[in-house]
Amino acid sequence: MSELPPNQTQREQIIEATLEILQTEGPVNFRLQALADKLGVTIPALYRHFKDRNDIVRSAYVESFTRETEAAAALAQYLTEVEFSGETLLHLMVEQLSQLNSENYKRQRLTRMEALATTTQDEASKKQVTDLLHKMHLTATAAYDSWQRRGVFRREFNPAAFSIVSRSLLAGMIVWDMDESLDVPVEDVRQVIEHILRQFIII
Protein backbone atom coordinates (compact mmCIF):
# COMPACT_ATOMS: atom_id res chain seq x y z
CA MET A 1 0.00 0.00 0.00
CA SER A 2 1.10 3.57 -0.65
CA GLU A 3 1.41 6.44 1.78
CA LEU A 4 -0.49 9.70 1.30
CA PRO A 5 1.73 12.79 1.30
CA PRO A 6 0.48 15.56 3.62
CA ASN A 7 -1.07 17.98 1.13
CA GLN A 8 -4.52 19.44 0.54
CA THR A 9 -5.22 17.29 -2.51
CA GLN A 10 -4.78 14.06 -0.59
CA ARG A 11 -6.83 15.42 2.30
CA GLU A 12 -9.64 16.14 -0.14
CA GLN A 13 -9.39 12.60 -1.50
CA ILE A 14 -9.84 11.23 2.01
CA ILE A 15 -12.87 13.44 2.58
CA GLU A 16 -14.45 12.41 -0.73
CA ALA A 17 -13.95 8.72 0.02
CA THR A 18 -15.28 9.23 3.54
CA LEU A 19 -18.45 10.88 2.25
CA GLU A 20 -19.05 8.00 -0.14
CA ILE A 21 -18.77 5.48 2.69
CA LEU A 22 -20.90 7.55 5.07
CA GLN A 23 -23.71 7.72 2.51
CA THR A 24 -24.07 3.95 2.59
CA GLU A 25 -22.80 2.97 6.04
CA GLY A 26 -23.52 6.01 8.22
CA PRO A 27 -21.23 7.25 11.01
CA VAL A 28 -21.83 4.31 13.36
CA ASN A 29 -20.63 1.69 10.88
CA PHE A 30 -17.85 3.81 9.42
CA ARG A 31 -14.52 1.95 9.65
CA LEU A 32 -11.06 3.33 9.02
CA GLN A 33 -9.96 0.06 7.46
CA ALA A 34 -12.70 0.35 4.85
CA LEU A 35 -11.57 3.91 4.12
CA ALA A 36 -7.92 2.89 3.86
CA ASP A 37 -8.82 -0.01 1.56
CA LYS A 38 -10.88 2.28 -0.66
CA LEU A 39 -7.95 4.66 -1.02
CA GLY A 40 -5.32 1.92 -1.29
CA VAL A 41 -3.33 3.18 1.69
CA THR A 42 -2.59 2.17 5.27
CA ILE A 43 -4.50 3.48 8.28
CA PRO A 44 -1.40 5.30 9.63
CA ALA A 45 -1.29 7.22 6.34
CA LEU A 46 -4.70 8.70 7.18
CA TYR A 47 -3.34 10.08 10.44
CA ARG A 48 -0.92 12.29 8.53
CA HIS A 49 -3.95 14.40 7.61
CA PHE A 50 -6.37 13.94 10.53
CA LYS A 51 -6.06 13.51 14.28
CA ASP A 52 -8.33 10.48 14.57
CA ARG A 53 -11.44 8.75 13.21
CA ASN A 54 -13.79 11.37 14.63
CA ASP A 55 -11.77 14.14 13.01
CA ILE A 56 -12.18 12.46 9.63
CA VAL A 57 -15.95 12.05 10.06
CA ARG A 58 -16.39 15.62 11.33
CA SER A 59 -14.36 17.06 8.47
CA ALA A 60 -16.36 15.10 5.91
CA TYR A 61 -19.71 16.24 7.29
CA VAL A 62 -18.58 19.86 7.53
CA GLU A 63 -17.44 19.69 3.90
CA SER A 64 -20.79 18.24 2.84
CA PHE A 65 -22.65 20.93 4.77
CA THR A 66 -20.43 23.60 3.21
CA ARG A 67 -21.31 22.42 -0.29
CA GLU A 68 -25.00 22.38 0.55
CA THR A 69 -24.80 25.92 1.92
CA GLU A 70 -22.96 27.20 -1.14
CA ALA A 71 -25.51 25.62 -3.47
CA ALA A 72 -28.38 27.18 -1.51
CA ALA A 73 -26.65 30.56 -1.54
CA ALA A 74 -26.16 30.37 -5.31
CA LEU A 75 -29.84 29.54 -5.84
CA ALA A 76 -30.95 32.37 -3.55
CA GLN A 77 -28.66 34.80 -5.37
CA TYR A 78 -30.11 33.72 -8.71
CA LEU A 79 -33.65 34.26 -7.44
CA THR A 80 -32.78 37.82 -6.41
CA GLU A 81 -31.56 38.64 -9.92
CA VAL A 82 -34.31 37.24 -12.16
CA GLU A 83 -37.68 38.91 -12.64
CA PHE A 84 -40.84 36.97 -11.83
CA SER A 85 -44.39 37.54 -10.64
CA GLY A 86 -45.79 36.64 -7.25
CA GLU A 87 -47.66 33.75 -8.86
CA THR A 88 -44.43 32.37 -10.30
CA LEU A 89 -42.65 32.78 -6.96
CA LEU A 90 -45.47 30.95 -5.20
CA HIS A 91 -45.29 28.10 -7.70
CA LEU A 92 -41.50 27.83 -7.37
CA MET A 93 -41.57 27.78 -3.58
CA VAL A 94 -44.47 25.33 -3.33
CA GLU A 95 -42.85 22.93 -5.78
CA GLN A 96 -39.51 23.18 -4.01
CA LEU A 97 -40.98 22.60 -0.56
CA SER A 98 -43.24 19.84 -1.86
CA GLN A 99 -40.14 17.84 -2.73
CA LEU A 100 -38.91 17.86 0.86
CA ASN A 101 -39.92 14.24 1.28
CA SER A 102 -37.74 13.09 -1.62
CA GLU A 103 -34.77 10.83 -0.96
CA ASN A 104 -32.37 13.59 -1.98
CA TYR A 105 -33.73 16.01 0.62
CA LYS A 106 -33.83 13.27 3.24
CA ARG A 107 -30.12 12.64 2.67
CA GLN A 108 -29.42 16.36 3.01
CA ARG A 109 -31.31 16.56 6.30
CA LEU A 110 -29.55 13.46 7.59
CA THR A 111 -26.21 14.99 6.67
CA ARG A 112 -27.12 18.19 8.52
CA MET A 113 -28.22 16.27 11.61
CA GLU A 114 -25.10 14.14 11.66
CA ALA A 115 -22.88 17.16 11.05
CA LEU A 116 -24.41 18.92 14.03
CA ALA A 117 -24.11 15.80 16.17
CA THR A 118 -20.48 15.11 15.31
CA THR A 119 -19.28 18.69 15.78
CA THR A 120 -20.61 19.34 19.28
CA GLN A 121 -17.42 18.06 20.93
CA ASP A 122 -15.04 19.97 18.68
CA GLU A 123 -15.04 23.75 19.02
CA ALA A 124 -13.43 24.47 15.65
CA SER A 125 -15.89 22.28 13.75
CA LYS A 126 -18.78 23.59 15.82
CA LYS A 127 -17.86 27.15 14.85
CA GLN A 128 -17.65 26.16 11.18
CA VAL A 129 -21.15 24.70 11.23
CA THR A 130 -22.50 27.66 13.21
CA ASP A 131 -21.01 30.04 10.65
CA LEU A 132 -22.59 28.04 7.83
CA LEU A 133 -26.00 28.13 9.51
CA HIS A 134 -25.63 31.88 9.92
CA LYS A 135 -24.68 32.23 6.25
CA MET A 136 -27.80 30.31 5.23
CA HIS A 137 -29.91 32.62 7.38
CA LEU A 138 -28.36 35.77 5.88
CA THR A 139 -28.75 34.41 2.35
CA ALA A 140 -32.44 33.60 2.84
CA THR A 141 -33.07 36.94 4.53
CA ALA A 142 -31.45 38.81 1.64
CA ALA A 143 -33.64 36.95 -0.85
CA TYR A 144 -36.85 37.76 1.03
CA ASP A 145 -35.78 41.39 1.40
CA SER A 146 -35.16 41.57 -2.35
CA TRP A 147 -38.60 40.16 -3.07
CA GLN A 148 -40.16 42.76 -0.79
CA ARG A 149 -38.45 45.59 -2.64
CA ARG A 150 -39.66 44.16 -5.94
CA GLY A 151 -43.25 44.02 -4.74
CA VAL A 152 -43.83 40.26 -4.73
CA PHE A 153 -43.46 39.76 -0.98
CA ARG A 154 -45.51 41.52 1.69
CA ARG A 155 -43.62 44.36 3.36
CA GLU A 156 -45.27 44.02 6.78
CA PHE A 157 -43.25 40.88 7.53
CA ASN A 158 -39.67 40.91 8.78
CA PRO A 159 -37.51 39.05 6.20
CA ALA A 160 -35.22 37.72 8.93
CA ALA A 161 -38.19 36.36 10.86
CA PHE A 162 -39.54 34.66 7.74
CA SER A 163 -36.10 33.14 7.16
CA ILE A 164 -36.22 31.54 10.60
CA VAL A 165 -39.77 30.27 10.14
CA SER A 166 -39.17 28.89 6.64
CA ARG A 167 -36.03 27.09 7.78
CA SER A 168 -37.97 25.64 10.70
CA LEU A 169 -40.10 23.87 8.09
CA LEU A 170 -36.98 22.01 7.03
CA ALA A 171 -36.20 21.07 10.61
CA GLY A 172 -39.76 19.87 11.08
CA MET A 173 -39.37 17.50 8.16
CA ILE A 174 -36.98 15.47 10.33
CA VAL A 175 -40.07 14.19 12.16
CA TRP A 176 -41.30 12.81 8.85
CA ASP A 177 -37.90 11.19 8.28
CA MET A 178 -37.64 9.53 11.68
CA ASP A 179 -41.24 8.45 12.34
CA GLU A 180 -42.17 5.87 9.72
CA SER A 181 -45.66 5.57 11.20
CA LEU A 182 -46.59 9.02 9.84
CA ASP A 183 -48.77 8.32 6.83
CA VAL A 184 -49.36 11.85 5.56
CA PRO A 185 -49.89 12.27 1.80
CA VAL A 186 -47.42 14.60 0.11
CA GLU A 187 -50.29 16.44 -1.57
CA ASP A 188 -51.78 17.31 1.83
CA VAL A 189 -48.45 18.76 2.93
CA ARG A 190 -48.26 20.68 -0.34
CA GLN A 191 -51.69 22.24 0.27
CA VAL A 192 -50.70 23.41 3.75
CA ILE A 193 -47.43 24.88 2.44
CA GLU A 194 -49.25 26.76 -0.32
CA HIS A 195 -51.81 28.15 2.14
CA ILE A 196 -49.03 29.45 4.40
CA LEU A 197 -47.06 31.01 1.55
CA ARG A 198 -50.13 32.80 0.21
CA GLN A 199 -50.10 34.86 3.40
CA PHE A 200 -46.70 36.29 2.45
CA ILE A 201 -46.55 36.42 -1.35
CA ILE A 202 -48.41 39.09 -3.30
CA ILE A 203 -50.32 37.42 -6.13
* Claim to verify: residue 73 and residue 164 sit in the same structural domain: yes
* Claim to verify: residue 132 and residue 187 sit in the same structural domain: yes
Report pTM.
0.76
Does residue 115 lie in a domain region?
yes
pLDDT for position 115: 66
Share the mean pLDDT of the chain: 84
Count of structural domains, the chain: 2
Instruction: Classify residue 28 as exposed, middle or buried by CB count within 10 Å of its CB (0-12, 13-18, 19+).
Output: exposed
* Claim to verify: residue 165 and residue 76 sit in the same structural domain: yes
pLDDT for position 78: 84
* Claim to verify: residue 17 and residue 100 sit in the same structural domain: no
Which residues are within 8 A (CB) of 168 and not within 5 positions of it... i.e. 6 or more apart? Answer: none
Greatest Cα pair distance, the chain, in angstroms, is: 64
Does residue 202 lie in a domain region?
no
Does residue 120 lie in a domain region?
yes
pLDDT for position 45: 92
* Claim to verify: residue 45 and residue 83 sit in the same structural domain: no
* Claim to verify: residue 72 and residue 122 sit in the same structural domain: yes
Does residue 4 lie in a domain region?
yes
* Claim to verify: residue 79 and residue 3 sit in the same structural domain: no
pLDDT for position 133: 86
Q: Tell me if residue 2 falls in helix, strand or coil.
A: strand
pLDDT for position 173: 72
Instruction: Tell how far CA 86 is from the center of its chain.
Output: 26
Q: What kind and span of H or E run contains 10? A: helix 8-25
* Claim to verify: residue 6 and residue 70 sit in the same structural domain: no
* Claim to verify: residue 99 and residue 73 sit in the same structural domain: yes
Output the tens digit of pLDDT for each of the chain's 203 residues: 555 555 558 899 999 999 999 888 878 789 999 999 999 999 999 999 999 998 999 899 888 888 888 888 888 888 888 888 999 988 888 887 777 667 777 776 776 677 667 777 778 888 888 898 899 899 989 999 999 999 999 999 999 999 998 878 766 777 776 677 778 887 888 888 889 889 999 98
Question: In CATH, what number is assigned to the domain containing residue 22?
Answer: 1.10.10.60
Which of 9, 26, 50 delimits the end of a domain?
50
The Cα 183–Cα 179 span in angstroms is 9
Query: What residue numbers bound the domain in which 102 lies?
Result: 61-197
Does residue 40 lie in a domain region?
yes
Amino acid at 47: Y
* Claim to verify: residue 45 and residue 69 sit in the same structural domain: no
